[in-house]
Amino acid sequence: MTETAAGGRTVDTASLSPLHWVAFGLAAITGVLHIWLGVQFVSSPVGISFLLAGVGFFAGAALVAVDYRRRLVYAIGVPFTAVQIVAWYLVNAPDFSPIGYLDKAVQVAFIVVLVVLYRREG
- pLDDT at residue 41 in the model: 92
> pLDDT tens digits, residue range 84-119?
999 999 999 999 999 999 999 999 999 999 999 999
Query: What's the pTM value of the predicted model, to 2 decimals?
Result: 0.90
Give the residue ranges of the chain where pLDDT is below 70: 1-8
Q: Compute the distance between CA of residue 12 and CA of residue 3 in angstroms, rounded to an integer.
A: 7
Residue 39, CA distances (Å) to 46, 51, 70, 105, 106 in order: 10, 7, 29, 22, 20
- pLDDT at residue 5 in the model: 56
- pLDDT at residue 51 in the model: 97
